[in-house]
Every structure is written in structure tokens, then in C-alpha cells.
């Protein structure tokens, strides 16, 4: 390892970097904002996805049996459903139990003591193995004998799916826009450095430095902008996660936020990679344009 | 046709060769017009003529800052006019160039300016530490290695530039008006240095319109006018002898 060579190279990079510090800070700041929003977006998307999964997992299909069905019929049907691979579990709710649960649920809202007879049929509660099977299983069950009516939280499922879809598209649009902005600002920063160093570049070309060698310090500068910006954003994201998320738990108790445990390691690496890639691409473009004369 | 278009056989001893070289700039200016020229290894050649007659253009062809519109340019057995862009750095390490305005980096010391030429071509530190003192010694600036260009005289700045051009051990040194910004005593100093460099075996080609310098040295003089070679004399003068004083008078008056 020739340390003199390494020191010279990084000396040049550092000289470039500190020549126009304000501009570098602008570039770093832009990347930081971009990565921050990208990170928030990815985190939110993961979280909504997880919440969605959790809600969907708990979606049960309520199967109401016809009045003619006996409890033996109900048990037979339950046994038959349990054999289906798509079904995770079946609970038999006799009509008396159903009434008791309803009274429990509606206590204080409706005076259920007025009910003199039990209006409920026997019912089965079916849980399926995967949320996207709910519709299919429900349809199959409704065709079985002794089944009067099938119900599941269709609306809730569809709304949730739609919400995460919209969220995904809007977020993605914003992120793409921000990536462009960051790239343009880095590219401008590098172009200023290139301009400030045009004498050096001319001399390098004159004495026979290779194109790669001339480019490399500028590429490193862009890389530095990208990585530092991304790192700054990661710090802010971590602070946000530690400070805001617990408050969110308290503020939104009805959301199953406990399910949110986004894997932060890979996400952080992804964001750093995005920052680095933008930095390299932007500087490559702006130096390329200058050197291609 | 040779197998490799960039390597053509040249007679031993011939380092630079131009054949039917014409250079027309995009604005239509015909800078060079059918130049045929051969320069032997180890020679010391002046390129003279009024400003705008194509001296600098000719030099630029040799280090591939410019590509001829027509014709062949061969430097050290390499067809420069057909050189791929990626091979240009290799050529430039073999051709040192010095300019009227020195082109030194003001934020670097003499040592750093010279070392820069080696460092940016990826030289090993060991070589930098060996070569830089050698050339600084050659140009007589070893004692000013730590000074910045602004602390040097014009002659010293040009010597720094020459040291930078020589540090890669080029076979050819091209000088474009090297004494254009210097007073007579600095001019003589630089010409003596270039002469010494030539004695060590480097081929030196100098574009100048300094008559005193040319006449004092009495070396090969190639005279350009309107992009054409109008005279080529061994041991020549700035003005052709046939022109005599009358020619001198007319050229001076026409210059005014």
C-alpha cells in the first residue's frame, strides 16, 4: 500500500469538498430531507402493511346456520370445515352463547333485557390461514348445506387495502420527485467544484492524467454528499422513532401498533445506498459533461 | 496498411512527422494548410512566424489538443491523429508542454506543482520523491521548492513549469512562446535551460516570435506564414538571410 498516494488522493477530495462548504451543506441537507421522507414513507408503508396484516389475520368469517340445523349438524359442519387446508380454526357458537356475547357487547347501549326470545341462530366463527383467502373461503362456505348467511368485514378489508395502495403511489411520486431534486442539487454543487478546479483539470489533462483519475475525486465528493445526507437523515429517523412512536402508541390505542417492528438494519442500509447512488450518479453526470470537450 | 493504425514504421531517428496536415477550425479559419514536416530525435527546433500563422495550432496537434482536418501526424511512431481518446493520456506523458503564461497552480508550492504531474498519473510515492528533486535540481530551483508561484520571478515560474513538463521524462518538450512574458535576462536564462535540456537528449520544439532568441541560438528554424511552411533552414535566423534588411524592414512595417 502506497500511503503517500492514498494521502494525496484524499487530500484532493478534501480540498474539493471544503472549497465550497456552504454548497456542500446545501447538497447534504437536500439529500437528508429526501432520505428522511423516503425513510418515513417506507416505514409508514411497512407499518400500515403490518397493521393491515394484523387486522386481516383477525378477520373472522361468521357463518350463521339455518333455523332447521341442529347442534349436531353444526358440529358436523365445523368438523368438515376444519379439514379444509385454508381454514385455521373453527369455533362453534351455540345460539345461547351468541346471545350472551351480544348482550356483553351491547351493554349500556341497548337494553337487551327487552329481548324475550333469542333471535340468533347457531353460528360458526371461521378463521382462515391467510387474509387474501377470506373472500374465497366465505364464498365456498355460503354454498354449503345448512348455511343461511355468511358475513365478514368486507368493507374494512377493502378500505385498508385501498388506503395502503394510495399511500404507496402518492409516497412513491413524492420520493421520485425528491430524488430528482437531490440529484440536481448535488450535480450543481459538483459542477461548481469542477468549475473552481478547471485550471487543475486542464493541467491534469495536459500532463496525461487518465479520465478516470480526473473524475474520481469528484465522484468521491458526490458520494460524500450522498452518504453524509443519508446518515443525517438516519439519525433524525432514529430520533423520531424513539421519541414519536411511543407517543403514537398512547394517542392511537385502537391501532395495533405493537405489530409495528420494522426491521431497521436493512432499511438503514437501503437508505444509505440510495444516498450514495444519487451522489455518484449526479457527480458522474456533471463531470462527464465537463470533460467531454 | 499496417495492422495497427496507431503504430506506423518510421525511419530511425525521426521523432515527429507531419504529412499533408491541414487544420480548419469550425469557424472556417484555415490555421494550417498542407504542412509536411519531419523532426529528428534530439533536435532543437524553432517555429517562427507572426501571431496567428499557426505555430500554436501546430504544437497543439502534437499533444493532441487538436486533431487535423486532413493529413497524418506521427509522434514517436504513434499516429496521433488516429489516437483513441483513452490513449491520449499515454501520449501526453511522453510530451511535455510549456506555455507563455506558465499555468502553475497558485495554491500549491513549487514542489507540489511539479509533483502534481506525477501524482495525477498515479506515480508511486517513491518515484515522486526521486523525480521531483531531480528536475528541480535541473532547473535550479531546489532551494525554492517550498515557495508559492506568487513568491517567484517570472523566470522562476517558467522554470517551475519546465520542471513540471520534464518530471515524467518526456521525449519531447513543446514550448509555446516560453519567453513571451519574460524580460531579456530571464529570457536568456530560460533559453540556456532549454538548451541544456536538449543536450541531455530531449527533443525541444519552440514556437516563438522573439528574433533575438532565435538568432543567438542558430538552430533549425521553421518559418510559418498563413498556415504554410515558407522556410526551413538548419542553423537559421529569425528572418531568412535572403530577405536581408529589406525583408526585415517590410516585415516590421507590415507588422505595424
pLDDT-based confidence at residue B255 (cuts at 50, 70, 90): very low
Taking a C-beta distance cutoff of 8 angstroms, is the pair A48, A167 a contact? Answer: yes
Residues in Cβ contact with A228 at an 8 Å cutoff, skipping those fewer than 6 apart: A28, A31
Name the residue of chain B whose CA is nearest to A8's CA. Answer: B119
- The C-alpha cell at B165 is 513538463
pLDDT-based confidence at residue A6 (cuts at 50, 70, 90): confident
Look at the block and give the residue holding cell 531517428: B13
- How far apart (Å, rounded) are the C-alpha atoms in residues B172 and B93? 10
Please name each of the domains of chain A with its CATH number.
Answer: 3-55+158-291 (no CATH), 60-152 (3.30.70.3040)
- The C-alpha cell at A154 is 368486507
Q: Is B58 on the interface with A (CB under 8 A)?
A: no
- How far apart (Å, rounded) are the C-alpha atoms in residues B127 and B131? 6
Report the pLDDT averaged over residues A42-62: 73
Q: Is B92 on the interface with A (CB under 8 A)?
A: yes
Name the residue of chain B whose CA is nearest to A293's CA. Answer: B65
**B34-46 tens-digit pLDDT:** 999 999 999 999 9
Interface mutation target, options A10, A201, A204, A206, chain B, most CBs of B under 10 Å: A206
The conformation of residue B7, written as its DSSP 8-state character, comes to B
Q: Per the CB < 8 Å rule, is A4 touching B125?
A: yes
**A87-144 tens-digit pLDDT:** 888 888 888 888 888 777 777 677 767 777 777 888 888 888 776 777 788 888 888 8
Q: Using a pLDDT cut of 70, give the percent of chain B over it.
A: 89
**Number of residues that this document lists for chain B:** 256
Q: Per the CB < 8 Å rule, is A206 touching B97?
A: yes
- Write down the H helix ranges in A208-261: 211-251
Q: What pLDDT score was predicted for residue B12?
A: 53
Name the residue of chain B whose CA is nearest to A213's CA. Answer: B120
Q: Is B76 on the interface with A (CB under 8 A)?
A: no
Taking a C-beta distance cutoff of 8 angstroms, is the pair A226, A279 a contact? Answer: yes
CA–CA min distance B52, chain A (Å)? 22
The DSSP result for B180-191, as a single string, is TTS-HHHHHHHH
**B149-165 tens-digit pLDDT:** 999 999 999 999 999 99
Could you please state the CATH topology (level 3) that the domain comprising B44-67+89-255 is classified under: Rossmann fold (3.40.50)
CB contacts of A208 in chain B (<8 Å) are 88-94, 121, 168
- Whether B249 shows a pLDDT value over 70: the answer reads no
Name the residue of chain A whose CA is nearest to B170's CA. Answer: A207
Pairing between β-strand B14-24 and β-strand A123-128 as defined by DSSP bridges: unpaired
ipTM of the complex: 0.84
Q: Per the CB < 8 Å rule, is A2 touching B125?
A: yes
Name the residue of chain A whose CA is nearest to B121's CA. Answer: A209
- The C-alpha cell at A55 is 387486522
* HSE (side-chain half, CA atoms, 13 Å) at B171: 17
Q: Per the CB < 8 Å rule, is B121 touching A213?
A: yes
3-state helix, strand, coil in chain A (%, to 5): 75, 10, 15
**A179-222 tens-digit pLDDT:** 888 888 888 888 888 888 888 889 999 999 998 888 888 889 88
For the CA atoms of B140, B144, B148, B152, the dihedral, rounded to the nearest 10 degrees, stands at -60
Q: Where are the domains of chain B?
A: 44-67+89-255
* Cβ burial B5-24 (10 Å sphere, 16+ → b, else e): ebeeebeeeebbbbbebebe
pLDDT-based confidence at residue B204 (cuts at 50, 70, 90): very high
CA–CA min distance B90, chain A (Å)? 6
Pairing between β-strand B95-99 and β-strand B172-176 as defined by DSSP bridges: parallel
**B163-174 tens-digit pLDDT:** 999 999 999 999
Amino acid at each position: 500500500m502506497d500511503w503517500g498516494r492514498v494521502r494525496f488522493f484524499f487530500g484532493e477530495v478534501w480540498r474539493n469538498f471544503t472549497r465550497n462548504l456552504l454548497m456542500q451543506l446545501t447538497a447534504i441537507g437536500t439529500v437528508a430531507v429526501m432520505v428522511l421522507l423516503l425513510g418515513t414513507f417506507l416505514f409508514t408503508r411497512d407499518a400500515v402493511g403490518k397493521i393491515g396484516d394484523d387486522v386481516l389475520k383477525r378477520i373472522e368469517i361468521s357463518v350463521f346456520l339455518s333455523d332447521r340445523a341442529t347442534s349436531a349438524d353444526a358440529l358436523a359442519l365445523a368438523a368438515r370445515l376444519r379439514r379444509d387446508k385454508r381454514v385455521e380454526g373453527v369455533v362453534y357458537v351455540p345460539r345461547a352463547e351468541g346471545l350472551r356475547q351480544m348482550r356483553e357487547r351491547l351493554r349500556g347501549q341497548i337494553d337487551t333485557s327487552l329481548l324475550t326470545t333469542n333471535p340468533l341462530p347457531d353460528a360458526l366463527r371461521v378463521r382462515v390461514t391467510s387474509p387474501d383467502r377470506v373472500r374465497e373461503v366465505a364464498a365456498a362456505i355460503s354454498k354449503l348445506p345448512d348455511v343461511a348467511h355468511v358475513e365478514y368485514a368486507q368493507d374494512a378489508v377493502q378500505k385498508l387495502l385501498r388506503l395502503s395502495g394510495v399511500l404507496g403511489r402518492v409516497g412513491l411520486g413524492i420520493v421520485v420527485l425528491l430524488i430528482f431534486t437531490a440529484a440536481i442539487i448535488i450535480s450543481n454543487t459538483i459542477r461548481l467544484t469542477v468549475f473552481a478546479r478547471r485550471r487543475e483539470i486542464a493541467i491534469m489533462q495536459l500532463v496525461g492524467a487518465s479520465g478516470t483519475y480526473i473524475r474520481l475525486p469528484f465522484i468521491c465528493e458526490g458520494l460524500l454528499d450522498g452518504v453524509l445526507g443519508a446518515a443525517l437523515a438516519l439519525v433524525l429517523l432514529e430520533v423520531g422513532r424513539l421519541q414519536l412512536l411511543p407517543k403514537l402508541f398512547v394517542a392511537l390505542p385502537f391501532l395495533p401498533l405493537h405489530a409495528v417492528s420494522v426491521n431497521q438494519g436493512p432499511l438503514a442500509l437501503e437508505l444509505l445506498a440510495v444516498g450514495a447512488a444519487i451522489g455518484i450518479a449526479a457527480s458522474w453526470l456533471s463531470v462527464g459533461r465537463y470533460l467531454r470537450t | 496498411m499496417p495492422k495497427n493504425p496507431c503504430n506506423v514504421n518510421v525511419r530511425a531517428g525521426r521523432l515527429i512527422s507531419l504529412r499533408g496536415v491541414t487544420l480548419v477550425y469550425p469557424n472556417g479559419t484555415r490555421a494550417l494548410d498542407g504542412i509536411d514536416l519531419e523532426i529528428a530525435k534530439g533536435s532543437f527546433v524553432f517555429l517562427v512566424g507572426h501571431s496567428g500563422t499557426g505555430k500554436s495550432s501546430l504544437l497543439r496537434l502534437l499533444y493532441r489538443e487538436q486533431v487535423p482536418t486532413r493529413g497524418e501526424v506521427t509522434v514517436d511512431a504513434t499516429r496521433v491523429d488516429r489516437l483513441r481518446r483513452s490513449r491520449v493520456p499515454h501520449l501526453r506523458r511522453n510530451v511535455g508542454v510549456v506555455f507563455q503564461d506558465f499555468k502553475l497552480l497558485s495554491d500549491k508550492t513549487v514542489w507540489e506543482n511539479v509533483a502534481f504531474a506525477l501524482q495525477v498519473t498515479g506515480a508511486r510515492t517513491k518515484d515522486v520523491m526521486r523525480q521531483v528533486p531531480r528536475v528541480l535540481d535541473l532547473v535550479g530551483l531546489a532551494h525554492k521548492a517550498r515557495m508559492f508561484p506568487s513568491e517567484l520571478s517570472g523566470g522562476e515560474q517558467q522554470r517551475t513549469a519546465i520542471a513540471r513538463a520534464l518530471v515524467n521524462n518526456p521525449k519531447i518538450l513543446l514550448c509555446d512562446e516560453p519567453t513571451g512574458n519574460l524580460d531579456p535576462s530571464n529570457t536568456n536564462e530560460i533559453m540556456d535551460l532549454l538548451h541544456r535540456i536538449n543536450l541531455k537528449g530531449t527533443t525541444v520544439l519552440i514556437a516563438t516570435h522573439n528574433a533575438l532568441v532565435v538568432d543567438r541560438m542558430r538552430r533549425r528554424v521553421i518559418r510559418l506564414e498563413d498556415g504554410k511552411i515558407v522556410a526551413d533552414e538548419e542553423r537559421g535566423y529569425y528572418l531568412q538571410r535572403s530577405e536581408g534588411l529589406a525583408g526585415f524592414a517590410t516585415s516590421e512595417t507590415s507588422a505595424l
